[in-house]
């Protein structure tokens, strides 16, 4: 086609799509001007699940702070709405056992009716020469670390059965713990705590963590917590290698240690039946709870951080609400049955060991009495030393005198995982990026682990409380002044002592006169 009226001829070609009936593509260039995507509103019951609490009622004293509170409430509401919408992407559902007598179902029955992937999760490691064994899973639930009391330590991928390392430290091993990644782990040996890599090479010897009996790791603070036989509780920052805090608890031997996963507060169990709560920025316990009238055997805190389970030598298992620090329920065992080790799964299943038997109970935090029969029941060959649920898997690891056992517990693990938080299928490059991101995001300082009672009433303080605080501040200032006076006197005493040799010289005579020339 040519266009007249111009000095040059221009050829214009037009393209017309073929008719779909004659083999053309089925598309259209037409689009409505007011085409908008409308989001379907989320149901109120789903939003209520993701809301952290009630919205603030009322206003602040200033307009600036009122607007700030409103903006923050909008952000919280948007986060809850997005979380509720993203719940549709969680297509996996948790498993369960149906029937009235589920406690009669054995691991052989599950193995016979399950698929091949589930069958490989049920296995035993017969290591009767170096037991009993302690164990620990990584945060993503992929790797397993076991440590025998007679020095045997092994790290491996328990799903593929690929061995990372296997060593014998030739010392008594009290506990083992993975650090922020599966590349390093800590071992509490007879005298000191040692850090090894996943090849079994010794990296560090922490001599100031002596006689450690239990280890825990805070992943968001990069803190390694150790409780020793001499009553010392220590916090070590593994990112810089410095000890953050060392506390003398004055409670004797510390062999019961657990951490609240929500608040990072350390729970210690003592022989007098008391559970004490500790933070690294306080030299005294933040709270004390009298749980049993006898010696404690173990303490466990659930994933939500709201409930705590304790077991004692009085053959009782108790459930406490950590929001009010009150006892919710207690369960009495019969004679010759004393509950031992405890652990909560991600879905709230409680594992209780007694001698060589492990019992699993459902919904223990909502019941006033212990069920007559457990959800599942498993018997080991020897005395149970340690139990732990595997994250994001329906698996319970059991360490006993003859080695290690892995059993399947349907409905124990969280079926949907957050790949940015803990990815069981991460590659080597992803692991490196995750480690760098964790170090960059390490904004939580040890001073941020603070204990704030959640039952504190709102409102202003009474006049008596205000006067008490004023007196306390005045006493602190007075003590500081007295301390300065004492330090000044001590300095003067040191100076007088250092100048005591001048006492024999006559007044007005300087020590430099000996350098003058003597007159003839």
Angle at 496 between CA 491 and CA 502, to 5 degrees: 150
Structural domain count of the chain: 1
Q: Give the whole-angstrom CA distance, residue 60 versus residue 68.
A: 9
pLDDT at res. 70: 86
Domain that holds residue 381: 102-448
SS3 431: helix
Q: Give the whole-angstrom CA distance, residue 395 versus residue 67.
A: 48
Q: What is the CATH number of the domain that holds 236?
A: 2.130.10.10
Query: What is the phi/psi pair of residue 110, to 5°?
Result: -65, -40
Concatenating the DSSP letter of every residue in 40-83 gives: PPPPHHHHHHH--SPPP-S--SSHHHHHHHHHHHHHHHHHHHHH
490 within domain boundaries: no
152 within domain boundaries: yes
367 within domain boundaries: yes
pLDDT at res. 503: 61
Number of other residues whose CB lies within 10 A of the CB of residue 70: 13
Residue from 175, 179, 202, 203 nearest 189 by CA: 175
Q: Give the whole-angstrom CA distance, residue 261 versus residue 305.
A: 6
Q: Give the whole-angstrom CA distance, residue 289 versus residue 320.
A: 10
What is the model's pTM? 0.74
453 within domain boundaries: no
How far is C-alpha 396 from the chain's CA centre?
18
Token pair recorded at residue 290: 């009298």
pLDDT at res. 11: 62
Element (H, E) at 86: helix 63-86
426 within domain boundaries: yes
Element (H, E) at 216: strand 212-218
Q: Give the whole-angstrom CA distance, residue 315 versus residue 333.
A: 5
The upper half-sphere exposure of residue 366, i.e. CA atoms within 13 Å in the direction of its Cβ, equals 5
Q: Give the whole-angstrom CA distance, residue 170 versus residue 190.
A: 10
In sequence order, the 6+-apart residues with CB closer than 8 A to the CB of 395 are: 121, 141, 389, 406, 407, 408, 409, 412, 413
Determine contact, residues 405/124, Cβ cutoff 8 Å.
yes
Residue from 360, 374, 388, 317 nearest 146 by CA: 388
Q: Give the whole-angstrom CA distance, residue 471 versus residue 26.
A: 84
In sequence order, the 6+-apart residues with CB closer than 8 A to the CB of 406 are: 121, 122, 123, 124, 158, 395, 396, 397, 398
264 within domain boundaries: yes
Residue from 274, 340, 258, 354 nearest 307 by CA: 258
384 within domain boundaries: yes
Which residue stretches of the chain have pLDDT < 50? 1-6, 453-459
Q: Work out the burial of residue 183: count CB atoms within 10 Å of its CB; fewer than 13 is exposed, 13-18 middle, 19 or more buried.
A: middle
E-assigned strand segments in 390-515: 395-400, 403-408
Q: Give the whole-angstrom CA distance, residue 463 versus residue 244.
A: 38
Q: Say which residue the tokens 């210690």 belong to.
A: 268
pLDDT at res. 380: 92
Q: Give the whole-angstrom CA distance, residue 414 versus residue 392.
A: 5
129 within domain boundaries: yes
Partners of residue 244 on adjacent β-strands: none
């Amino acid at each position: 086609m040519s266009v007249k009226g111009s000095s040059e001829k221009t050829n214009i070609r037009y393209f017309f799509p073929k008719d779909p009936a004659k083999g053309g593509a089925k598309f259209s260039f037409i689009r409505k001007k007011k085409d908008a995507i409308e989001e379907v509103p989320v149901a109120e019951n789903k939003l209520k699940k993701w809301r952290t609490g009630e919205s603030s009622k009322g206003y602040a004293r200033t307009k600036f702070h009122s607007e700030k509170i409103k903006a923050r409430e909008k952000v919280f509401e948007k986060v809850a709405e997005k979380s509720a919408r993203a719940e549709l992407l969680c297509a996996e559902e948790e498993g369960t056992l149906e029937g009235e007598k589920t406690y009669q179902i054995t691991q052989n029955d599950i193995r016979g009716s399950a698929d091949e992937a589930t069958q490989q999760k049920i296995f035993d490691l017969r290591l009767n020469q170096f037991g009993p064994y302690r164990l620990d899973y990584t945060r993503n639930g992929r790797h397993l670390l076991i440590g025998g009391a007679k020095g045997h330590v092994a790290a491996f991928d328990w799903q593929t059965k690929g061995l990372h390392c296997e060593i014998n430290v030739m010392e008594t091993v009290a506990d083992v713990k993975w650090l922020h990644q599966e590349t390093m782990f800590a071992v509490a040996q007879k005298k000191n705590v040692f850090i090894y890599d996943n090849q079994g090479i010794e990296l560090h010897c922490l001599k100031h963590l002596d006689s450690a009996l239990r280890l825990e790791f805070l992943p968001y603070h990069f803190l390694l917590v150790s409780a020793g036989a001499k009553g010392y509780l220590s916090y070590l920052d593994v990112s810089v290698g410095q000890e953050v805090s060392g506390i003398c608890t004055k409670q004797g031997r510390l062999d019961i240690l657990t951490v609240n996963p929500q608040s990072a507060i350390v729970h210690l169990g003592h022989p007098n039946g008391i559970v004490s709560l500790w933070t690294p920025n306080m030299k005294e316990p933040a709270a004390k709870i009298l749980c049993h009238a006898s010696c404690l055997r173990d303490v466990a805190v659930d994933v939500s951080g709201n409930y705590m389970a304790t077991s004692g030598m009085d053959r009782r298992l108790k459930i406490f609400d950590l929001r009010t620090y009150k006892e919710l329920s207690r369960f009495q065992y019969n004679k010759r049955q004393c509950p031992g080790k405890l652990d909560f799964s991600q879905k709230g299943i409680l594992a209780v060991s007694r001698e060589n038997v492990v019992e699993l109970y459902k919904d223990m935090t909502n019941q006033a009495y212990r069920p007559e029969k457990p959800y599942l029941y498993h018997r080991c060959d020897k005395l149970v030393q340690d139990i732990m649920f595997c994250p994001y898997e329906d698996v319970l690891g059991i360490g006993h005198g003859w080695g290690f056992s892995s059993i399947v517990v349907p409905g124990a693990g969280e079926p949907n995982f957050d790949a940015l938080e803990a990815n069981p299928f991460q590659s080597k490059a992803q692991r490196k990026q995750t480690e760098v991101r964790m170090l960059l995001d390490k904004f939580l300082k040890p001073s941020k682990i603070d204990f704030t009672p959640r039952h504190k009433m709102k409102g202003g303080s009474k006049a008596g409380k205000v006067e008490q605080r004023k007196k306390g501040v005045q006493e602190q200032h007075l003590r500081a002044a007295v301390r300065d006076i004492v330090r000044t006197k001590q300095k003067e005493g040191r100076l007088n002592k250092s100048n005591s040799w001048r006492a024999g010289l006559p007044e007005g005579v300087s020590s430099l006169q000996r350098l003058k020339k003597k007159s003839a």
